[in-house]
Amino acid sequence: MDDDSSGGPGAQWRVRGVSVEGYRHRRTGTPCQDSWLYTVSGPPEDSVTVLAVADGAGSRARSDEGSALAVQLAVECFTRRSAELPPTASGVRAALREAFLDVRDEFLRRTGDESNDFATTLTVAVLTPRWIGYLSVGDGFVVLRAGTVDGVPQFHLLPQPAAASEYSNETVFLTSTDAERWVRTACVRDPEVDGVLLSTDGLAQIALTWVDGQPHQPRASFVAAMLRTLDSPGDDPDEDDEALAVLLRSDKLTAVNADDKTLLRAVRP
Amino acid sequence: MRDNTHPMTVRVNQQASTLPYQYADIEIENNAQRLPLVLCLDTSHSMLGAPIASLNEALRDWTRELHDDVSLSYSVEVAVLTFGDAGVSAWQGPNLLPYNSPVSPFVPAHLFQPPQLKAAGVTLMAEALELSVQIVAARKAELRQLGLQFYRPQICLVTDGLPTDATGHPTDAWRRVVPVLTEEQRARRFRLYAIGVGGITDRGEEVLRAFAPTFNARLHGFPFRELLQMMSASANAEQRGAGDEVFEKIFSQFKTQRPAWES
């Protein structure tokens, strides 16, 4: 699970992921419908890390399987498409879209007529030595940490897909008709990026500030704490994960959002 | 005194000591996604005696349950409107707001305390619904301004009678709000529940059906407790992003007065 080897500076990412079931699911014994997964491929000095989180639709019967399938397909397809390492930003974004279509088509093929029962969002980040690619459908989000101002780390929220309606609990799924129209991509070239955080909407109110019903920017204190504990891990990574899970399950966070919660974090020390 | 109308000032005040030491210093504002809920209640003369007593008791019980629900208590915002003695009244928790007050009647559920309602007067049902629509729109605008997200609001109309004018005479003036309500519901601005209780007549039921074609019911007696639990169950469904069919199922189970929302 851990990817803690220390390669050359800037090449190797330390990655950890945690999902916890929300308050409702805990009370009803329903499994967590969020999933996360990552893979690292290629030689150590030129590796590609693909991170994916997915949030199965609360109202759909098999969405826990749907989110698991989505992240599995995502790490496969995005790794494959990223292997070519397109040199231009538009090339990267085109490759991300191709990878998304690969995921979507395979997802629909495997789930067949019941695909709506597996409805899920999908948010992917691809970390390469030259660029960071991002693709999202639905309401997951990605925050980057890059550079400092007066010694204070700076955080950036990557652009999210347009809201599906005035109510933010309504979103677009991988399985939605025309999902490809709602996909948002970005290509970031900034060698200073040294922290990446992917999450599902269960933390949207906690990790982000909001303006006019739209996510505005990362809430620095929260995001900083999430990455800090990965920058300076304890002796036992599993204990660190457990501490994070206790935080995510706490009443304090539940009061703000009772949904399942997922954090997939990557830092390069 | 804390100003309940500004939820951004309300902080989640749980013991930080329950958090892991690495995260003990995290400050979290209560910027939970809000779910405005309007209880639009008939307190006209016909509710006198046991009905109003049972309504007050049910409101007290429901408030306790709401406080105990970690998720609903920081998300749901309750506004109580009544139509009876003083025409249409808006309450901010236990306190009656002055007529036409610009103060929002919505109170975060964890701070909500129910008013002590008295039965008297006429049934300005249409006017109460108009005010419900108005306060929901105003609250949405406030929430947007505060940078808070919200779920689709719920309005719950409860009555045992027919709409009247200010002199207590039955009137057809309620028909003017039907097109408004129809359009608002079509645009999904809120879910409207219209519940007839006690000895409501066929004509009374017809009015409720016109107001709320999807969620209307005529119930025996005064099952306020079940009614309020149904609103909580619907709030719950809203939070987990349930489809329309789930709300219809919760409602149909409520109509048959089986406690199936517990399943």
Q: Tokens standing for B168?
A: 């207590």
Look at residue B118 and tell me if it is in a domain: yes
- DSSP classification of residue A126: E
pLDDT at B122: 93
CATH number, domain of B245, equals: 3.40.50.410
pLDDT at A28: 78
Q: Tokens standing for B75?
A: 């998300």
Is A160 in the B-facing interface, judged by CB distances under 8 Å?
Answer: no
Domain limits for position B88: 31-262
Per-residue confidence band for B10, with pLDDT thresholds at 50, 70 and 90: very low
CA distances from B28 to A194, A261, B13, B95, B239 (A): 25, 16, 9, 29, 20
pLDDT at A84: 81
- pLDDT tens digits for range B42-71: 999 999 999 999 999 999 999 999 998 888
What's the mean pLDDT in B16-28?
75
pLDDT at A168: 64
**Is a pLDDT exceeding 80 seen at residue A202?**
yes
Look at residue B159 and tell me if it is in a domain: yes
What's the mean pLDDT in B16-35?
79
pLDDT at A214: 81
Comparing CB atoms, the residue among B19, B71, B246 nearest residue A23 is B71
Comparing CB atoms, the residue among A23, A169, A246 nearest residue B151 is A169
Q: Is the sign of the CA dihedral B23, B27, B29, B31 positive or negative?
A: negative
Look at residue B1 and tell me if it is in a domain: no
pLDDT at A10: 56
Taking an 8 Å cut-off on Cβ atoms, the answer to whether B242 and A59 are in contact is yes
Taking an 8 Å cut-off on Cβ atoms, the answer to whether B18 and A250 are in contact is yes
Give this prediction's pTM.
0.79
Number of domains in chain B: 1
Alpha-carbon distance A102 to nearest alpha carbon in chain B (angstroms)? 27
pLDDT at B220: 85
**Is a pLDDT exceeding 70 seen at residue B217?**
yes
Taking an 8 Å cut-off on Cβ atoms, the answer to whether B22 and A229 are in contact is yes
**Is a pLDDT exceeding 70 seen at residue A5?**
no
- Which residues, in sequence order, are bridge partners of residue B40? B81, B157
Distance CA B220, CA B200 (A): 9
Q: Most distant CA pair in chain A: distance in Å? A: 55
Q: Is the sign of the CA dihedral B147, B9, B66, B190 positive or negative?
A: negative
Q: Are A207 and A218 in contact (CB under 8 A)?
A: yes
> What string of DSSP letters covers chain B?
---TT-GGG-B----GGGS-GGGTT---B--PPBEEEEEEEEESGGGTTHHHHHHHHHHHHHHHHHHH-HHHHTTEEEEEEEEETTEEEEEETTEEPPTT-SS---EEGGG---------S---HHHHHHHHHHHHHHHHHHHHHTT--BPPPEEEEEESS--B-TTS-B-SGGGGHHHHHHHHHHTTS-EEEEEE-TT--HHHHHHHHHH-SSEEEE-SS--HHHHHHHHHHHHHHHHTT--HHHHHHHHHHHHTT--GGG-
What's the mean pLDDT in A36-52?
93
pLDDT at A244: 94
Q: Are A201 and B151 in contact (CB under 8 A)?
A: no
pLDDT at B236: 85
Interface subset of A 78-117, CB within 8 angstroms of B: none
pLDDT at A182: 87
Region label for B56, one of left (φ > 0), alpha (ψ between -120 and 50) or beta (otherwise): alpha
CB-CB neighbors (< 8 A) of B152 in chain A: 167
Say what angle helices B125-145 and B177-186 make with each other, to 10 degrees.
Answer: 40
CB-CB neighbors (< 8 A) of B23 in chain A: 225, 229, 243-244, 247
pLDDT at A269: 81
pLDDT at A213: 73
- Which residue, among A63, A165, A166, would best test binding to B if mutated, counting the most B CBs under 10 Å from its CB? A166
Nearest to A107 by CA among A66, A139, A144, A142: A66
- pLDDT tens digits for range A92-144: 999 999 999 999 999 999 999 999 899 999 999 999 999 999 999 999 999 99
Pairing status of strand B35-43 against strand B154-159: parallel
Domains of chain A in sequence order: 14-258 (3.60.40.10)
pLDDT at A177: 81
**Is a pLDDT exceeding 60 seen at residue B6?**
no
Look at residue B234 and tell me if it is in a domain: yes
Look at residue B3 and tell me if it is in a domain: no
Say what angle helices A220-231 and A237-249 make with each other, to 10 degrees.
Answer: 160
Is B186 in the A-facing interface, judged by CB distances under 8 Å?
Answer: no
pLDDT at A218: 95
Nearest to B247 by CA among B178, B154, B146, B167: B154
pLDDT at B22: 84
CB-CB neighbors (< 8 A) of A250 in chain B: 14, 18-19
Q: B98 or A7: which carries more pLDDT confidence?
A: B98
pLDDT at A167: 72
Q: B69 or A3: which carries more pLDDT confidence?
A: B69
Q: Please report, rounded to a whole number, the percentage of residues in chain B having pLDDT higher than 70.
A: 91
Taking an 8 Å cut-off on Cβ atoms, the answer to whether A24 and B240 are in contact is yes
Supply the mean pLDDT for chain B: 87
Interface subset of A 204-263, CB within 8 angstroms of B: 204-206, 209-213, 216, 221-222, 225, 229, 240, 243-244, 246-247, 250-259
Look at residue B26 and tell me if it is in a domain: no
Taking an 8 Å cut-off on Cβ atoms, the answer to whether B241 and A57 are in contact is yes
Comparing CB atoms, the residue among B149, B151, B243 nearest residue A210 is B149
Look at residue B138 and tell me if it is in a domain: yes
Which of A124-138, B73-87, B108-122, B233-247 is the least confident region?
B233-247
**Is a pLDDT exceeding 70 seen at residue A8?**
no
**Is a pLDDT exceeding 90 seen at residue B195?**
yes
pLDDT at B145: 86
Is B14 in the A-facing interface, judged by CB distances under 8 Å?
Answer: yes
Based on its alpha-carbon atoms, the radius of gyration of chain A, rounded to whole angstroms, reads 17
Alpha-carbon distance B45 to nearest alpha carbon in chain A (angstroms)? 38
Dihedral, CA of residue B239, residue B241, residue B247 and residue B248, to nearest 10: 180
What's the mean pLDDT in B87-114?
94
pLDDT at B12: 41
- Which residue, among A200, A238, A252, would best test binding to B if mutated, counting the most B CBs under 10 Å from its CB? A252
